[in-house]
Amino acid sequence: MSDPFIRPDWTASPRVNALMSTRAGGVSPPPFHSFNLGIAAGDDPAHVQVNRERFAQALGARPVYLKQVHGTAVVRLGAAQPYATAPEADASFTTEPGIACCVLVADCMPVLIAAPDGRAVAAAHAGWRGLSLGVVEAAARAVCESASCAPAELEVWLGPCIGAREFEVGADVLQAFGAEPLARDQPHFRWRPRADGDARWRADLAGLARDRLQQLGVRGVSGGRWCTVEEPSRFFSFRRDGVTGRMAAGICIRG
């Protein structure tokens, strides 16, 4: 069987294990087929539990999932904590082996971050709201502080998300990123009005994230080349399907 996971094409330390699930390799029936990891998506919890156990085995660490709210809160994870209730945050980081920082997505962008020598790792959930508010920068700064390193030393991977050909947005999204909602193309926003003339643009989440990371001083950025909407056999997409499963991106320090 081929590997059902996507693994970052980066130069992070061998001490770091990182991967992202796809639709393949699980036990959930349609419309969650087959590797749904979202407990609140409507799937049978027993199926989700089996899938989550398989994901944990692939990571080689205990995943900690978050109660994601499209904000900027970053929580520090410790292997000794029980985490009976999911922490409310959109990013997590750790300096300890045995525990994995994880985010759930189905169009939003997962961002994985590794410090030099695997001294710290983080995962961030970056939809347009969280990205515009600074969740990726907050996660990167937390890693830098905990690992005593500079942003230029980080490795960052951008996972599959809704792509620049599919992500239709309105003026509010441009304004959230400090762009004027003008009737023309702008950096990371292509002017694509609807047939009735209603103002719409196509947004490039990965491009917006790269810009923000570059402004922070991060040099090692990879990934960001998949569109969840355009590959229905491989990825879950809420924008495309409505009722659907969730994928997870996780990262840990090897024990």
Which residue bears the tokens 């994985």? Answer: 112
Which residue bears the tokens 């990013």? Answer: 91
**CA separation for the pair 194, 129 (Å, rounded):** 23
Q: What residues contact residue 90 under an 8 Å CB cut-off, 6+ apart?
A: 66, 68, 69, 70, 71, 72, 73, 74, 103, 124, 125, 126, 130, 135
Q: Which two tokens stand for residue 127?
A: 């939809």
Average pLDDT, the chain: 97
> What is residue 2's predicted lDDT score, i.e. its pLDDT?
77
Other beta carbons within 10 Å of 42: 12
> What is residue 197's predicted lDDT score, i.e. its pLDDT?
85
> What is residue 3's predicted lDDT score, i.e. its pLDDT?
86
Strand ranges, E, within the chain: 16-20, 62-64, 74-76, 91-94, 99-105, 109-114, 121-126, 155-158, 168-169, 189-191, 201-203, 220-223, 247-253
Residue 152, class by beta-carbon neighbours within 10 Å (0-12 exposed, 13-18 middle, 19+ buried)?
Answer: exposed
pLDDT, tens digit, 9 for 90 and up, residues 42-66:
999 999 999 999 999 999 999 999 9
Percent with pLDDT over 70 in the chain? 100
> What is residue 255's predicted lDDT score, i.e. its pLDDT?
85
Query: How far, in whole angstroms, is CA 197 from its chain's centroid?
Result: 33
pLDDT at position 88 over 70: yes
**CA separation for the pair 72, 219 (Å, rounded):** 22
Percent with pLDDT over 90 in the chain? 97
pLDDT at position 168 over 70: yes
Q: State mean pLDDT over 225-234.
A: 97
Burial readout 216-226 (b: 16 or more C-beta within 10 A, e: otherwise): bebebbebbeb
Q: How confident is the model at residue 93 (pLDDT cuts 50, 70, 90)?
A: very high
C-alpha Rg value of the chain to the nearest Å: 18
Q: State mean pLDDT over 177-189.
A: 96
Q: How confident is the model at residue 1 (pLDDT cuts 50, 70, 90)?
A: low
Torsion of CA 239, 211, 91, 123, to 10 degrees: 90
Q: How confident is the model at residue 203 (pLDDT cuts 50, 70, 90)?
A: very high
